[in-house]
Amino acid sequence: MTPASPTGVIRKAIDVAGIVQGVGFRPFVYRLANECNLAGHIANTPAGVSIEVQGPVAAVASFLARLPLEVPPLAKITSLLPRDVELQPDIAFRILSSRLDQPPSALISPDVAVCEDCLREMSDPRDRRFRYPFINCTNCGPRFTIIRDIPYDRARTSMASFAMCAACQAEYDDPANRRFHAQPNACWDCGPQVQLLDDRGVRVNAGEPLREAAGLLECGAIVAIKGLGGFHLACNAENDPSVERLRERKRRVEKPFAVMVRGIEDAERFCVVDEAARRSLLSRERPIVLLRRRPEAHVAAGVAPRNLFLGLFLPYTPLHHLLFSSCRCDALVMTSGNLSEEPIAIDNDEAVQRLCGIADAFLVHNRDILRRCDDSVVRQASGQTQKLRRSRGFVPVPVALEGESQPILAVGGELKNTVCIIRGAEAFLSQHVGDLENLEGYHFFEEAVEHLQRILEVRPKVIAHDLHPDYFSTKWALGWAEARLIGVQHHHAHIAACMAENHLDGKVIGIALDGTGYGADGAIWGGEVLLVEYANLHRAAHLDYVALPGGEAAIREPWRIAVSYLAKHYGKSLGGVEIPFIKELDWHNLDILLQMIDRGVNCPLTSSCGRLFDAVAALIGLRAAVNYEAQAAIELEMAAHESTDESAYPFELQHAGETWQIGTRSLFNWLLHDIRRGARVQDISRRFHNGLASLFLGVAEKLREARGLNRVCLSGGCFQNILLFELLRVALRKQKFEVYFHSEVPAGDGGISLGQALVAAHRLHSAGSSS
């Protein structure tokens, strides 16, 4: 350590890592250094920021003490390392231009909802940004979606093409200003502008495009609106014909739409909003929040048919606020601007081309979106915020890990895809990429991988992937001949993701319930109880296999899996013809199906819990075919919410070698019995949910007895079913299990890339230590 000079003056260099770029960190440090009367400088570096301060010992100490405590709202320091350096002849504190001499590891900020200060200025007729739709400051505005490269400077964003006017430049240069070094700073004179286009993409000469778009929405039109991470398709959520028209044109049948409401009071009018939900709605991430709807709420019937919940969110860009202030609609359907299952459109021409025929008009602007980023979706459960889709507002904030690893890329699954890169002791998940089954989805996947590598400045030589040979992500990974490839079983990845975000090590009981995951034996797994360590898994119990007649077709048509279960337990009689489900079957189709099962033609075996939900939903007459993923299971859950029945259908546990088989014969006996005696669908659904909870509690107890394990991780898409999640969590807690679940990443397949990465990291580590 260098002693203080004879004058009592010292100089410290401080390297700060974390989210410290583009969040007003440099102006904050500038002000703090001046308050402490220190000389020196600050600069953005690829790793974060580097600061040097010089002054009396006490003043430097005060600066160091205040620095971590007073950081601006969006900044997040992950490390702060001061060291002594030689005195310099500085007389003032200066902000230097960015340094490019180190490998980048600075964290980019996610996009942030417009702040209160900006909103106040925007609604002030005397302010020069009165009604300006792109107002922002260092505390708010676009980040991730406009960044081309790092370090984060205007020249490396889509604002590069806008030269600041004198007034904006003066704010940008003034360390005392809220817009000091706010990279997207702009105004009416120099910044992006909105335009209204007609249904064919031809510019409309509108005096005020925003007011005209608002007028169109009021009249029932469908307007494509360019947002932060992509286009939305919007229409008045209280107008039945408009919502119906949107469904028809978008070819989206029954899958719920998200609704943006004017303000928190409107949210409360439509849904039950408790304190935690209120915080989520108002958070700067502004996700869609799933809320229990009020039965009397006047939302168009087509917004979320047969669903007790509604996805609500509040305006998050200045443009959204202006739209609401210009029209009388209190609630707008705001759904991704795409055809069903394709990625969201971001480019003006692309939007016109793809959404032509859906939108009656386009409200566009000339600030390019460089990164597609869908809205995030969250809900509150047992006192925590759970993410059902982790995207805008959360990406690219990393998940902190326990240990460091060499860089690893994990490519995720096939549906609800995300990718993940481990760098050091942090895991960075991409935005929601979605389904890879179409060409656009696959391109988006490649784009997300490339961008994440670029902003993190790593090119991992290790790639983790799912075991399913037909997944696009798997095939993509297998194309990298020079990389080290590590295949990770789907449900192993689910549980490892849950362990990682809860910082667990060692061995846990993992209950992984979902629709589809390729098993180590080639069957389709999905009703799994696993003993999991990061590097290994042992399949401790699973739902008994049943044929999935027609494979994918059986996922779209739950009646097939219901027949398969009945045939398994009762042969061709299916347990009796007096059940309405059987009476209503098309006998010709049924015959073909039974032959397929008999001969094992196109009948993969499955232990899927999602398919068991489908079978029960079909059997009790809720749904023979689905219009979107998991629809039958969701409707079964909705029915169960309307019953308080406490009885539970039984399952059988049979020991078969090292693994317990979970039999469903008694379950179906009881189901048929209840259907015959005319029990309410709601009660049957509830007993089925109760049955699953007590089944998996029972399995966990057996494993605790045999293995001495007390920690249980819950993961997989079935835990998006809040009733099943709560019933099982409460039952496990009551029996003194430590129960862990997700809050950082989704329980569904959006979270598996994190688990894949962790499994790969530990396999590398154990391979390294044994060689």
Instruction: Closer to Zn ion by CB, 335 or 753: give it.
Output: 753
Q: How far is CA 723 from CA 644, 688, 736, in A?
A: 12, 11, 20
Show Cβ contacts of residue 29 under 8 Å, excluding neighbours closer than 6 positions: 42, 49, 51, 67
Spatial separation of the C-alpha atoms in residues 481 and 463, rounded to whole Å: 11
Q: How far is the CB of 716 from Zn ion (least distance, A)?
A: 5
Instruction: Closer to Zn ion by CB, 636 or 718: give it.
Output: 718
Spatial separation of the C-alpha atoms in residues 226 and 246, rounded to whole Å: 17
Radius of gyration for the alpha carbons in the chain, expressed in angstroms and rounded: 28
Q: How far is the CB of 533 from Zn ion (least distance, A)?
A: 19
Amino acid at 431: Q
Spatial separation of the C-alpha atoms in residues 243 and 656, rounded to whole Å: 53
Instruction: Closer to Zn ion by CB, 403 or 551: give it.
Output: 551
Instruction: Closer to Zn ion by CB, 660 or 719: give it.
Output: 719
Q: How far is the CB of 285 from Zn ion (least distance, A)?
A: 15
Instruction: Closer to Zn ion by CB, 137 or 529: give it.
Output: 137
Yes or no: say if 610 and 561 are a contact pair by the CB < 8 Å rule.
Answer: no
Show Cβ contacts of residue 610 under 8 Å, excluding neighbours closer than 6 positions: 513, 514, 515, 516, 526, 630, 633, 717, 718
Q: How far is the CB of 334 from Zn ion (least distance, A)?
A: 22
Instruction: Closer to Zn ion by CB, 137 or 648: give it.
Output: 137
Yes or no: say if 32 and 70 are a contact pair by the CB < 8 Å rule.
Answer: yes
Q: How far is the CB of 134 from Zn ion (least distance, A)?
A: 10
Q: How far is the CB of 173 from Zn ion (least distance, A)?
A: 13
Adjacent-strand bridge partners of 179: none
Adjacent-strand bridge partners of 525: 517
- Give the Cα-Cα-Cα angle 157, 162, 167 (nearest 5 degrees): 115
Instruction: Closer to Zn ion by CB, 318 or 575: give it.
Output: 318
Instruction: Closer to Zn ion by CB, 417 or 643: give it.
Output: 417
Spatial separation of the C-alpha atoms in residues 187 and 165, rounded to whole Å: 8
Q: How far is the CB of 436 from Zn ion (least distance, A)?
A: 14
Q: How far is the CB of 429 from Zn ion (least distance, A)?
A: 15
Q: Which of 513, 510, 409, 390 is nearest to 463 (CA)?
A: 409
Q: How far is the CB of 167 from Zn ion (least distance, A)?
A: 5
Instruction: Closer to Zn ion by CB, 168 or 299: give it.
Output: 168
Yes or no: say if 143 and 114 are a contact pair by the CB < 8 Å rule.
Answer: no
Spatial separation of the C-alpha atoms in residues 193 and 137, rounded to whole Å: 17
Instruction: Closer to Zn ion by CB, 118 or 594: give it.
Output: 118
Q: How far is CA 359 from CA 239, 310, 331, 480, in A?
A: 16, 23, 18, 41
Q: How far is the CB of 24 from Zn ion (least distance, A)?
A: 10
Amino acid at 221: A
Q: How far is the CB of 383 from Zn ion (least distance, A)?
A: 25
Instruction: Closer to Zn ion by CB, 184 or 407: give it.
Output: 184
**Run of H or E including 172:** helix 166-173
Q: How far is the CB of 132 from Zn ion (least distance, A)?
A: 9
Using a 10 angstrom Cβ sphere, with 0-12 exposed, 13-18 middle and 19 or more buried, the burial of residue 482 is exposed
Q: How far is the CB of 121 from Zn ion (least distance, A)?
A: 8
Q: How far is the CB of 513 from Zn ion (least distance, A)?
A: 9
Instruction: Closer to Zn ion by CB, 175 or 220: give it.
Output: 175
Q: How far is the CB of 75 from Zn ion (least distance, A)?
A: 15
Which residues sit at the interface with Zn ion, rule CB under 5 A? 115, 118, 137, 139-140, 165, 168, 187, 189-190, 514, 517, 749
Q: How far is the CB of 31 from Zn ion (least distance, A)?
A: 17
Instruction: Closer to Zn ion by CB, 139 or 474: give it.
Output: 139
Q: How far is CA 135 from CA 105, 155, 262, 282, in A?
A: 29, 19, 19, 19
Q: Which of 300, 526, 343 is nearest to 442 (CA)?
A: 343
Q: What is the DSSP string of 501-569?
A: HTT--S-EEEEEEEEEEE-TTSSEEEEEEEEE-SS-EEEEEEEPPEE-TTTHHHHH-HHHHHHHHHHHH
* DSSP tag of 93: E
Yes or no: say if 230 and 337 are a contact pair by the CB < 8 Å rule.
Answer: yes
Instruction: Closer to Zn ion by CB, 355 or 634: give it.
Output: 634
Instruction: Closer to Zn ion by CB, 201 or 517: give it.
Output: 517
Spatial separation of the C-alpha atoms in residues 253 and 572, rounded to whole Å: 34
**Residue 575: left if φ>0, alpha if ψ -120 to 50, beta else—which one?**
left
Reported in sequence order, the residue ranges of 294-452 that DSSP labels E, i.e. its strands, are 309-313, 331-336, 361-365, 377-381, 384-389, 399-410, 420-429
Instruction: Closer to Zn ion by CB, 192 or 424: give it.
Output: 192
Q: How far is the CB of 517 from Zn ion (least distance, A)?
A: 5
- The tokens for 488 are 């990770």
- Give the Cα-Cα-Cα angle 370, 376, 380 (nearest 5 degrees): 165
Show Cβ contacts of residue 218 under 8 Å, excluding neighbours closer than 6 positions: 236, 327, 328, 329
Instruction: Closer to Zn ion by CB, 189 or 642: give it.
Output: 189
> Is residue 146 helix, strand or coil?
helix
Q: What is the DSSP string of 581-636?
A: HHHTS-HHHHHHHHHHHHHTTT--EE--HHHHHHHHHHHTTS-SS-SSTTHHHHHH
Q: How far is the CB of 190 from Zn ion (least distance, A)?
A: 3
